[in-house]
Structure 1
Amino acid sequence: MGPETEDGHTTGCFGGFKLRFSRKSLATRTLSTSRSGLAPSKPSEKMLAPSQHFDFGVPSGWGLSAEQSSLDSFLPPYTTQMNASRTNGVVDSMAGKTINSVLDELEPELYQLSMDIHDHPEIAFQERYARDTLTAFMRRHKFNVTSGYLGLETAWRAEYSYGNGGKVIGINSEMDALERIGHACGHNLIAASGCGIAVALKAALETHDIPGRIILLGTPAEEGGGGKIILLQRGAYDDMDFCLMSHPGPGPLYSFDIGATTAVQTFEVEYLGKGAHAGAAPWEGINALDAAFLAYSSLSVLRQQMQPTHRSHGIVQGRDWISNVIPDNARLRWQVRAPTYDEMSILAQRVRKCFEAAALATGCSVSIDEEPPYQDLKNNPILARIFGQIVQTQYGQNVTTNGSAASTDFGNVSYYLPALHPLYTIPTEPHGGNHTPAFTKASATKEAHAASMIATRGLALTALCVLQDDALFLEMKASSVAFRSVS
């Protein structure tokens, strides 16, 4: 999440998403931007030379030392070191082959599903077309579907159970777009990917007699409103043993990042003053716009004393302003970010004092509303390692743990249960990052879909590894508790 759109109502996601992926050439083939046809993503078609090194010890990431940015440093001391054969055995099993085979068959349908969502963008809490389209898809694939889930009109839940007992896999499909610029954060890709993961896992459970339960949540309002936070508070994640999703961003193809994202707090601040004729009797007014700009100036000065990894940004808004009337109202929509929730909370307190001081100095009244904070993303280290090994060894991807300065409401989910939210790259025009019209265009390309399919395969196979390996499952659970306890 980064600079907002002009209306200022973008809380969530990956605007300004800038991963520190290697910029070296990862492939020499020419890429097209055509929307016709599909790029190959079968596991047998390696997309990088076999010599590509899977290096978790990457250069320093977002607010992390070089040591911290290595995934190995995230693992608790009691964790067994995984080798590639441990995950490859599951991937190469009959169940793993079923997942890849089903996704081969589904790929054209998932592409059309993604494009349908892309061509019908809907903003937060208004994702009715997306809800209806996605739930129809899941019903066709024999999932039990609940629309209007837990009191949210556009939220939904698709569930499938096989056998008795077993582990419970959670998956998220985001749906919302950005006002005026559409799917500039690629949620069309995320929506289709979630459906693909769920259907592929269903086939594996049925075909190979694996007990388990799959819960796919259609989560509204990531781009402002914190849909997952609301669902989390209402118990939507209580049944899950772990939860998975992925997210696109700009960069060279064949790259994934499994690092952290930042925590963010959004403020809605309103100053109320008193109108007066700006020429005849300005002394009779109380200038709310002065209060807003005084706050803005204070916030700008505060940046000098902020940590390099902290962010403070926002916009000023108003209604019925004209140049010869003292403004009696002004609003700020402001956001602060930091690598951890605790750091962000301290920064938010300092920012709040700037808002209050401006009201005191100008004589305005002020109301300060805080939206539910998005916590920093904490990818479960066991899930991250499994996924990283799968996409590197099976699909030739470059994997880093650098993280991003963006934010997501999935961070709150990652504090609650073992979770994984890898970031993958799609090609864009220069400076065409998330929350730009160029990214809207990029999220509709064959290359974006092919990258999303690799994420889909990797996450489905990661879930299968955990389903079939009780030791990994227990390590995942234990490492999530330990990982959070030292944060």
Structure 2
Amino acid sequence: MIDKVTQTINEIMDELKELSEYIYNNPELGYEEIKSSAAHIELLKKYGFNVEKGYMGMETAFRAEFDSGKEGPTIGYLAEYDALPEIGHGCGHNILGTTSTGAGITLSKFLDEIGGRVVVFGTPAEETSGGKVIMADNGAFNDIDVAMMTHPNHTHTKSGASLALQAIQFTFKGKSAHAAAHPEKGINALDGAINTFNNINALREHIKSTARIHGIIKDGGRAANIVPDLAIAQFYVRARTKTYLEELVEKVKNCANGAALASGTELEITNYEASYDNLVTNHTLSELYCSRLKDMGAEEINEPREGYGSLDMGNVSHVCPSIHPHFSISDEEIIAHTREFAQATIKNRAYKGMREAIGALVLTAIDVIKDDSLLKAVKKEFNNTKK
């Protein structure tokens, strides 16, 4: 089976390179990925996938399905293709999305024999407000048996963890006045924002060391001689689990409530971006993937990195068994979110890693489809995993 999968990948490799490099040369920000999503859709349609465009109300999202017509599990691959401002594909989503689409096309070639379905999800805006969050909230993954994706990196790395995240905005409203002539008639909204930072800094002594709170003052006034009547502070609050995140968010909100009370301002609390759940790796599925990655020629697979970032794949992992490993695109370490990282994604070395990753994703799916006891073990772990 390894030889058949490798041969199938090789047959479409030129088209996959073309897709990755087209998206690299046409970087688009989140929810603006018109050309990128269209390029994925065109290739998937060519290979017999039924595609729903504008999936779940997102113009640049899609759901592409290939159904064998025979009973069997449904495998989900998730494709990202949004870029970063100014530096383009510094996170490598051009090759990431291509890897998932390539895995979907390759797996479809075997489904008539083994049964089941494969679905490739086009998931926009991972870098900002997370299209997967909208999908997960609206049931997109409820009928998916396992979901997989893999992210470019300088080394092959096992699927690990990420932090749950809430993006909270505090809007303080006061009353303007001449800061020198009539300061007593003003209510300083900026004081509310600054006091919030001070309260949170005092809170840090009493939070778990793995949690993170970081923020900015987005709006703090326009002139030094006018008492600011509006101030806006934005924070990311992160934690390893949803449960602790919810507890910590309440404490952060109380910091702002206290600051508003002390400054005499009105306070409005909102979420300015989507909330991300923590990634729950399915280790049964992960170990299978790593074994198959070695079968594809990977010599070394590193242990997961400490997960201090946040991913919208986390939301998917709370709905169905999921993995989010990393695949190697370089022999030397390259820092993500840089132009150097973007350039590495279109070099021959990157395509070696992509070929290995596609093979591992496909062989893992074939194993899950063919071995019912393996799928049961994956789902048992999922059901027993504390979120």
CA deviation map 1:158-192 (0-9, x unaligned): 11111322221111101222233322222212211
**Structure 1 contact 162–212 (Cα < 8 Å) conserved:** yes
For residues 224 and 55 of structure 2, the distance between their equivalents in structure 1, rounded to whole angstroms, comes to: 48
CA deviation map 1:234-268 (0-9, x unaligned): 2211221111111234x4x3x31222222111112
Query: How far 1:408 sits from its partner (Å)?
Result: 0.8
For residues 322 and 437 of structure 1, the distance between their equivalents in structure 2, rounded to whole angstroms, comes to: 37
For residues 222 and 328 of structure 1, the distance between their equivalents in structure 2, rounded to whole angstroms, comes to: 34
Change (3 A) 1:303 1:150: same
Q: How does 1:397-412 map to 2 (within 5 A)?
A: 397-412=300-315
For residues 254 and 332 of structure 2, the distance between their equivalents in structure 1, rounded to whole angstroms, comes to: 40
**Structure 2 contact 190–221 (Cα < 8 Å) conserved:** no
Question: SS in structure 1 opposite 2:285?
Answer: helix
The yes-or-no answer on 1:386 pairing with 2:292 is no
Identity across aligned pairs (percent)?
A: 34
In the alignment, which residue of structure 1 is the partner of 2:119?
A: 215
**Structure 1 contact 466–473 (Cα < 8 Å) conserved:** yes
Query: How far 1:384 sits from its partner (Å)?
Result: 0.6
CA deviation map 1:338-360 (0-9, x unaligned): 22111222211111111111111
Q: How does 1:43-442 map to 2 (within 5 A)?
A: 93=1, 96-206=2-112, 209-249=113-153, 251=154, 253=155, 255-318=156-219, 321-370=222-271, 371-395=273-297, 396-427=299-330, 433-442=335-344
Query: How far 1:323 sits from its partner (Å)?
Result: 3.0
Mean alpha-carbon deviation: is it higher for 279-288 or for 468-477?
A: 279-288
For residues 188 and 51 of structure 2, the distance between their equivalents in structure 1, rounded to whole angstroms, comes to: 53
In the alignment, which residue of structure 2 is the partner of 1:60?
A: none
Letter in 1 for 2:162: T
CA deviation map 1:294-324 (0-9, x unaligned): 2122222322322221111121111762333
Question: SS in structure 2 opposite 1:368?
Answer: strand
Change (3 A) 1:442 1:289: farther
CA deviation map 1:360-388 (0-9, x unaligned): 11112111113543111111122111011
Query: How far 1:335 sits from its partner (Å)?
Result: 0.8
Q: TM-score, normalised by structure 1?
A: 0.74
Change (3 A) 1:473 1:305: same
Question: SS in structure 2 opposite 1:400?
Answer: coil
Which structure has more helix as a fraction of its residues?
A: 2
**Structure 2 contact 329–349 (Cα < 8 Å) conserved:** yes
Q: Which runs of 5+ in 1 are unaligned?
A: 1-92
Residue 470 (structure 1) aligned to one of 366, 372, 377: 372
Query: How far 1:447 sits from its partner (Å)?
Result: 3.2
**Structure 1 contact 318–330 (Cα < 8 Å) conserved:** yes
Change (3 A) 1:363 1:428: farther
Change (3 A) 1:364 1:343: same
Question: SS in structure 2 opposite 1:474?
Answer: helix
Query: How far 1:428 sits from its partner (Å)?
Result: 9.4
Letter in 1 for 2:119: I
**Structure 1 contact 299–354 (Cα < 8 Å) conserved:** yes
**Bigger RCO (CA 8 Å, 6+ sep):** 1
Letter in 2 for 1:356: N
Letter in 1 for 2:376: L
Question: SS in structure 1 opposite 2:114?
Answer: coil
Q: Which runs of 5+ in 2 are unaligned?
A: none
Query: How far 1:393 sits from its partner (Å)?
Result: 4.3
Question: SS in structure 2 opposite 1:257?
Answer: coil
Change (3 A) 1:436 1:349: farther
CA deviation map 1:202-260 (0-9, x unaligned): 11224xx22111111101122222311211222211221111111234x4x3x312222
For residues 428 and 223 of structure 1, the distance between their equivalents in structure 2, rounded to whole angstroms, comes to: 25
**Structure 1 contact 260–379 (Cα < 8 Å) conserved:** yes
For residues 136 and 248 of structure 1, the distance between their equivalents in structure 2, rounded to whole angstroms, comes to: 23
